[in-house]
Structure 1
Amino acid sequence: MQNNNKISVDLKPNKYDVIIGADLYANAAQYITPLLARNRLIIIADENAWALHGDRFSASLRAAQIEIFVVRVASGETSKSFASFERVIEEILAHGVERTDVIVAFGGGVVGDLTGFAAGVINRGVGFIQVPTTLLSQVDSSVGGKTAINARAGKNLVGIFHQPRLVLADTTSLKTLGSRDIMAGFAEIFKIGLINDAAFFDYCQTNAEQIIANNGPERQYAIEKAIAAKAKIVIEDEFENGVRATLNLGHSFAHALEAATNYDETALRHGEAVAIGIGLAAKFSVKSGVLDTQIAQVIIGFIKDCGYYEQIAVAFSNSADTNQNFAPEKLLATMCHDKKNSGGQINLILLNSIGDAYVHKNAPKQMLLEFLHGECESRFSPQYN
């Protein structure tokens, strides 16, 4: 069993801790009780995650005489909708939430985003706790206070910054995940190395098999390293006015690919799209004259060896209308709604080298459209066009 460790996100006045380790659910009340003004909790839970882990989590709370109310939501991106948001808000209000209460987000990134947004606006703001149950949500979305739901124009376009009061990342829950969900989370882990830590990317390359296959020390180290790196960036730039934008490496392309699949996670998980998006960012970095071709090939070769390109090939082939859904013009239109954009221009996160990401402002749209045409024609192959 791995040790439980704490990483502090030292924001003022919103400092909070991220607790990482095994079997945290058994002692959940120990961490949560000090944050409660009264002994009651409203829990917004992914229905699948709650079925798997809810009994263990709630047993600790009930033993501490904490009254709990559980609002279940369906798994998947469809729950990050206005309709789902309205239902969750109404159920929270029906349970008599007060401004001093705390709401728990129990599940993956979808539930965390949805719950954080609801907590941030209900009663003009109540506290919330993140209990991420997936690898991707543990290393990425649960830390940093970004909350949002989706709109017709794109992903995560309606939301606020609202920091959690606590994050409990129980690594035992990862044992119940399928291989694709582990791979989705791993993309957000090795992304950190590409952004600002070349040595950590080397670690991910060397230990990829152990991180992916085993819930052991290599994985916990990678989780802690990724969270610590993100926490450091969030402390420096909480509201994404500068360096925090680099955490979106690969995401402009990824969100366009997800939109092409209508956010169907059976076709393409978010993390899988991010991995392909990183590959596309590496290629576009070469095209923009800032990244050496050989370095790009190292990055893309690693993504290929991990198997991510196999999944985008399946998603592309299984699309009901490939020419329409993956049309370069449609992908570009989605990218034009990206939150990093400014002045009507597309801003991308590109790479100077491994461990050196930057915000590339005003990417030429015609150049980007031509690039997307080539990628669509090759079905997002790892090979250069």
Structure 2
Amino acid sequence: MKVAIVHEWLTTLGGSEKVVLEFKKIFPEAPIYTLVFNEEKLGNYFDKNEVITSYLQHIPLAKKKHQLFLSFMPKAFERFDLREYDLILTSSSAFAKGVISSPKSIHICYCHTPPRYIWDLSYEYLKDYNFLVRWYLEKKFHYLRMWDTLAANRVDYFIANSNYIANRIKKFYKREAKVIYPPVDVQYFTPSYEKVEDFYLIVSRLVSYKRVDLAVEVFNRISKKLIVIGDGPEYKKLKAMAKRNIEFMGFQPDSVIREMYRKCKALIFPGVEDFGIVPVEVQACGRPVIAYKEGGVLETVIENKTGIFFDKQDVESLIKAIGKFEKEIDTFDSRFIRKNAERFGQERFREQIKNFIFEIVGDKT
């Protein structure tokens, strides 16, 4: 079979890019079609000779500010000529699923989420803009919603990264999806079983929907130590509002993150994620999670065994959860927590993807 892999953009190494890397391990000869490729950041992970980019690659700023070109993305994906391929695998959280394929080809979309900024988070996304910008973006979002619905109809089979996302796919696209959890590097993120230190941890991009501001507000009030790893547009704002017991480390490599996972009392996870790789990574290191009770964490965290949930995204609810954890901290078994995380490993992901493809195409692979 001739196989093509399609992804939105290769600009940073996140969960969706790690899925693409796993696809390449299954189909090492498959080229990767993407809008833009930032070789400076991801050249160590992806071979530029195997990446095929769109015309956006040659537009100034596109590799670093691809979000500015949102309205150009649907047509850019439609311009890719994929007629020669028998199997098309898309890793999509936005518009990659909109590629046009031939009648003979099979298109399988691994969907991280229907794009939130044009569906359920559009109001959140628009609220900080002035009237004219909002009016312009609302028109664009209306068009993008129609195109996204059409693009979903070009997919033959959907795979969702969680039951939470399978329900969103059914809601917005009226399609069923097979659930295959994404790959987590549980071979790298491992416990040390050394003495835990007296701090809580956040590992996150610092953007508004991650709700790191809620954690900062809580730790300002309870005066316990919080360490925040990550960067993003909210960095300066969050640091300005934080008291001295909250430390911001900025971007850190995986080696530092693993060390902090191993040492922390628990990970604080105040946002809603479609799956949430960070809570699984910290569990792979044997440490528990204190998380808002919504989204993918409901499928990766076992309440009162590998973590504690809080019911509302407000100060009082999170303070109550931390208080409960402090009283019950000795009941959390690091080895049990680690065991829970092992079910999300990379080899398991590849095997499940191969089995799913085999069920569809038989021995043509």
- Normalised to the residue count of structure 1, the TM-score between the two structures is 0.29
Return the structure number with greater helix share.
1
